[in-house]
Amino acid sequence: MADAIHALEKNPKWKGRRGPVVLVIMDGVGYGKYEEGDAVKASRMKYLDWFTANCPNTKLKAHGTAVGLPSDDDMGNSEVGHNAMGCGRVFAQGAKLVSSSIANGSMFDAATWKKLVKNVNDKSSALHFIGLVSDGNVHSHIDHLKAMINQAYKEGVKKVCVHALLDGRDVDPTSALNYITPLEEFLAGFSNVDYKIASGGGRMYLTMDRYNADWSMVERGWKAHVLGEGRMFESATKAIETYRLEIPGVLDQDMKEFVIAKDGKPVGTINDGDSVIYFNFRGDRALEMTRAFETPKGGELPFDRTRVPEVEYAGMMEYDGDAHVPSQYLVNPPAISRTMGEYLTKTGVKLLAISETQKYGHVTYFFNGNKQGKFDEKLEDYIEVPSDVVPFEQRPWMKCAEITDKVIEAIKSGKYDHIRLNFPNGDMVGHTGVFNAVVCSMEGMDLQLGRIKQAIDEAGGILCLTADHGNSDDMYEHAKDGSVKKGEDGEPKAKTSHSLNPVPGIIYDPEYKGEYDLKLNSSLGISSWPATLMNLMGYVPPSDYDMSIINLK
């Protein structure tokens, strides 16, 4: 059986260390291409600099084809990055799968699409699309939306309503009109039908919460998309222009809700008999709104939905493969099997996964191949440190100290063979675009690296440092000649999206005894970590795992 899991073989030449092998994922920390705008370089990183200067290290790819995305023009993201670091191989990921299914027509030939279209055609009802309107290709792509609208028109759908979430994180922070105005023109180009944007707002203000961090975002989205409650405008373009005048400097991601109305009435509420497609392909920020649609009337939710329409609901993909959420979806997700966690628990390795709320799902669900729960309750411990529900630029240190407290306790306990943790600072604060806050976040994180180093020294373990993608290393928009773009105020234009830069591959091994070459392999991706970690624990990795960063002697 191809997917059978067997215990790993011990390496007869190396028993491993007396302490645990600890993987620190410094989320959003890469090697910047430009000096100006690199908040990592601008920070006083005493310990990270020491590790880089004194330990075996290499640069690892964390974007594009190295993590299963369509091309090397595609930035990596936390979902695919943790998938790669957890399974040791590269699987075709969301954007690529969706693009392929549209190109070959399989999406439109599948039962779910046919069911949703037939529903609205039979009932003369509306087909609704909810999702992120940009070409960031991290959560969604506007081309996917347009392709589905074109197909709906071909199949006779008379009413289409788009509930447009503004990006500003995976694309330029104030680029909304580059997508929204052309989308309105695109929708207006269809004859003898009613196609329009019906509602929307910034992705960090409504709808796209994750990990149950702030359900008020979902409530605001429900009110705007479903109930048609919120500030009304004649068009989405007008809404964006108005908010920018009223709230100078507002970023797209933070823009308040808008409801498109005609003669004082919303043009696109969601009603009984409609079909709804959440067209984001990435799952973490789609699960809560999906739950709001799929929870029956009277079911428990963190907010009162007021009205629960009976609709045919589908996600772009299956957002939770273990719980099978949503119940209907358009494209099958990658089938990720034989992850590192499966192999380690089969081998009897005791492990700990820990982060704060914002990235807890990444070191568990995504790391385990989009699987909820544990492989072995007796061998695995998962710890979630609750995140603060405040803008990240106001608490840039986030919970890195509290995470470290528990990691040090775990190292000292001698209970674990392997510990993986995620410091979210470089990514979550990086997305705010506030340079000084990112510097603060980096320096706060660096102090924790020093604390973990001391615990590793005492326990005789190994510390591995890496990231899932870059972000804080590229905080300014740059022109093609490398110069920094300036805003109307003359200040550098903030960049809030991930970078295409490589990330660290650092190994700190204070009790090194010459078992491997100190010169690490180069030109590898972050999917090389599982084989590396298995090597460092004294095991032989599966033969089809991507190459280890180290060469054993």
Place of tokens 């986030």: 398
Query: Number of structural domains, the chain?
Result: 2
Supply angle C-alpha 247, 250, 251, rounded to 5: 160
Residue 417 CB neighbours (<10 A): 21
The reply to whether 360 and 473 lie within a common domain is yes
Does 4 fall in a domain?
no
The reply to whether 89 and 114 lie within a common domain is no
Place of tokens 């609208």: 149
Residue 168 CB neighbours (<10 A): 27
The reply to whether 14 and 76 lie within a common domain is yes
The dihedral built from the CA positions of residue 424, 61, 76 and 100, taken in this order, carries a sign that is negative
Q: What is the pLDDT of residues 340-379, one digit of tens each?
A: 999 999 999 999 999 999 999 999 999 999 888 999 999 9
What are the structure tokens assigned to 14, written together? 């190396």
Does 391 fall in a domain?
yes
Angle between helices 94-103 and 142-154 (to 10 degrees): 30
Residues 6 or more apart whose CB falls under 8 angstroms from that of 125 comprise 119, 159, 271, 273, 274, 275
Contact predicate 97/336, CB 8 Å: no
Task: Classify strands 275-278 and 127-132 as parallel, antiparallel or unpaired.
Answer: parallel
The reply to whether 479 and 508 lie within a common domain is yes
Counting DSSP H helices and E strands in the chain, the numbers are: 16, 18
- Residue 5 confidence (pLDDT): 87
Q: Answer yes or no: pTM beyond 0.85.
A: no
| CA quadruple 190, 226, 131, 218: dihedral, nearest 10 | 170
Give the domain CATH number at 81.
Answer: 3.40.720.10
Q: What's CA 176's distance to the chain center, in Å?
A: 20
Does 549 fall in a domain?
no
Which of 303, 331, 359 is the last residue in one of the domains? 331
- Residue 2 confidence (pLDDT): 46
Q: What is the 3-state secondary structure (H, E, C) of 428-465?
A: HCHHHCCHHHHHHHHHHHHHHHHHHHHHHHHHCCEEEE
The reply to whether 181 and 51 lie within a common domain is no
CA-wise closest residue to 419 among 429, 428, 409: 409
308 by DSSP, 3-state: which? coil
CA–CA separation, 507 and 294 (whole Å): 45
CA–CA separation, 51 and 537 (whole Å): 20
Distances in whole angstroms, Cα of residue 360 to Cα of each of 129, 159, 212 = 29, 40, 11
Low-confidence spans in the chain with pLDDT less than 70: 1-3, 321-322
Task: Classify strands 351-356 and 380-385 as parallel, antiparallel or unpaired.
Answer: parallel
Q: What is the pLDDT of residues 225-245, one digit of tens each?
A: 999 999 999 999 999 999 999
Does 548 fall in a domain?
no
Which of 331, 352, 379 is the last residue in one of the domains? 331
Q: Where are the alpha helices (DSSP H) in 259-418?
A: 287-294, 340-346, 357-361, 400-413
The reply to whether 134 and 278 lie within a common domain is yes
Residues 6 or more apart whose CB falls under 8 angstroms from that of 428 comprise 27, 28, 358, 359, 392, 398
**147 Ramachandran zone, left/alpha/beta (phi>0; psi -120 to 50):** alpha
Does 545 fall in a domain?
no
The reply to whether 265 and 392 lie within a common domain is no
Which of 331, 352, 377 is the last residue in one of the domains? 331
The reply to whether 99 and 89 lie within a common domain is no
Contact predicate 499/138, CB 8 Å: no
Q: On the CB side of 37, how many CA atoms lie within 13 Å of its CA?
A: 25
Distances in whole angstroms, Cα of residue 25 to Cα of each of 441, 462, 468, 545 = 14, 14, 7, 20
Does 390 fall in a domain?
yes
- Residue 339 confidence (pLDDT): 97
**414 Ramachandran zone, left/alpha/beta (phi>0; psi -120 to 50):** left
Catalytic residue check, 78: yes
The reply to whether 385 and 481 lie within a common domain is yes
Task: Tell me how far apart the 2 most distant CA atoms of the chain are, in Å.
Answer: 78
Burial of 124 (0-12, 13-18, 19+ CB in 10 A): exposed
The reply to whether 529 and 393 lie within a common domain is yes
Residue 352: which H helix or E strand, with range? strand 351-356
CA-wise closest residue to 196 among 245, 149, 228, 243: 149
- Residue 211 confidence (pLDDT): 75
CA–CA separation, 36 and 491 (whole Å): 12
Q: What is the 3-state secondary structure (H, E, C) of 534-546?
A: HHHCCEECCCCCC
> Which of the residues 78, 99, 125, 497 is marked catalytic?
78
The reply to whether 284 and 412 lie within a common domain is no
* Enclosing domain of residue 221: 95-331
CA–CA separation, 88 and 532 (whole Å): 9
| DSSP-assigned letters across all residues of 17-58 | -SS-EEEEEETB----S-STT-TTTTS--HHHHHHHHHS-EE
Does 305 fall in a domain?
yes
Contact predicate 149/113, CB 8 Å: no
Give the domain CATH number at 142.
Answer: 3.40.1450.10
Does 535 fall in a domain?
yes
- Residue 94 confidence (pLDDT): 80
Does a cis peptide bond (omega within 30 degrees of 0) precede residue 182? Answer: no
C-alpha Rg value of the chain to the nearest Å: 24
The reply to whether 70 and 107 lie within a common domain is no
